[in-house]
Structure 1
Amino acid sequence: MTRIHNTVRIEKPVQRVYDYVTTPGNWPAWHPSSLGVSGATDHSLGPGERVTEEFRVARRRGRVVWTVREREAPRRWVIDGRVEGGGSGTIVYALTPDANGTTFERDLVYAMPNRLMALLDRLVLRRRVEAESIEALRRLKGELEREAV
């Protein structure tokens, strides 16, 4: 299993950040790996709801079905994914409000479908996934802080 943790401070109220990041239709606007989503994409998803995402991660294209496992609005959201062709992952969003905004934490834990891919992950892919995750949170901050109050 590989774990990637990122944190960003966003100058928006916690509820606004939560609603935005848990609405899959917004993902392609801020996550460079998200090429498109289908299914329940127009609202903040609750437990049991699913969405299909087309992605390109570390130059690898694929499709994943995400299912919401936990929702504790506006503080925590957990989704589990199954990648077509093998592999799985879990993403946890944790949000902490303060007087001037929100600290947003994103944890990605994933497993490769076989030993060869696990080796490739250790040698090359993980660094690319980490870079994409850093860029995603930079874009998220920009998207939310640009919008009118």
Structure 2
Amino acid sequence: MTHAPIFPDKASTQYAAPLRTHQEQHRSQLREQTAEELPAMTTPKTPTYPFERSHSIVIAAAPEAVFDYVTNPKTWPQWLPSSHDIDCEDRPMRFGDTFHEHWSTRSGPVALDWLVIACERPRLWIGLTHMSVTGPIVVQYVCDVADGGTKFTRTVRNPARPKTPTAEMIARIDEEAELGLGNIKRIVESRA
């Protein structure tokens, strides 16, 4: 497993426009609501702190097998300890699909509504959700052909965190990511 710094890449910039369109549509819907009805996800007036973390692993399987497994949210509880239950069809999610995840944090359960904002099988998948503690959450999966199979990279971005994560939080993120990627490798390779 590798931990690589994330820099803007073609995939990130290519999907910036659809993300902005989604955000603009959401803002337009919010403007139509009265002030009392506005949800907690209004734009913060305090500074934000973008955060990104990326983890990779090589899996001895074809990119399609890895991609179809990780982009089916019903599989997430099999490999990601914080994901407990997913409400969606049992299939890979494609561009425009939505699904609901029951997730856990140290402070308790969280319900997340996801939107798939990019899907280019078998290489790229990006999902978007929002959590009051971290703001927007963008998860990106990239599957690249590599010696020995597929290099799978999972990147988590919080583009507008209200505060920087502590070293302890980053260590927990890295620990869970390593466990999750190891689980994906074990499960997908057992099916190959």
Deviations 1:105-138 (A, max 9, x none): 0100125663xxx25x225322212211111101
Question: What is the aligned partner in structure 2 of residue 14 from structure 1?
Answer: 63
Give percent identity, aligned residues only.
Answer: 23
Give the RMSD, CA atoms, in angstroms.
2.0
2: CA distance, partners of 1:127 / 1:59: 17
Query: Contact conserved, 1:57 with 1:129, CA < 8 A, in 2?
Result: no
What count of residue pairs does the alignment treat as equivalent?
143
> Counterpart amino acid of 2:101?
E
Larger Rg: 2
2: CA distance, partners of 1:111 / 1:132: 20
For the residue of structure 2 that corresponds to 1:36, the secondary structure is strand
Question: What is the aligned partner in structure 1 of residue 173 from structure 2?
Answer: 129
For the residue of structure 2 that corresponds to 1:47, the secondary structure is coil
**Cα distance change of structure 1 residues 141 and 86 upon mapping to structure 2, 3 Å threshold:** closer
TM norm structure 1: 0.85
The answer to whether residue 135 in structure 2 is matched with residue 87 in structure 1 is: yes
Question: What is the aligned partner in structure 1 of residue 97 from structure 2?
Answer: 49
**Cα distance change of structure 1 residues 98 and 123 upon mapping to structure 2, 3 Å threshold:** closer
TM norm structure 2: 0.67
User: Which has the larger displacement, 18-27 or 99-108?
Assistant: 99-108
Q: Kindly indicate which of the two structures has a greater share of residues assigned to strand.
A: 1
Query: Contact conserved, 1:66 with 1:81, CA < 8 A, in 2?
Result: yes
2: CA distance, partners of 1:86 / 1:93: 20
Show the 5 A alignment for 1:1-149.
1-38=50-87, 40-58=88-106, 60-83=108-131, 87-98=135-146, 100-110=148-158, 114=162, 118-119=163-164, 121-147=165-191, 149=192
Query: Contact conserved, 1:58 with 1:129, CA < 8 A, in 2?
Result: no
Q: Which runs of 5+ in 1 are unaligned?
A: none
Query: Contact conserved, 2:51 with 2:161, CA < 8 A, in 1?
Result: no
Q: Which runs of 5+ in 2 are unaligned?
A: 1-49
Query: Contact conserved, 2:116 with 2:127, CA < 8 A, in 1?
Result: yes
Structure with larger RCO (C-alpha < 8 A, sep 6+) = 1
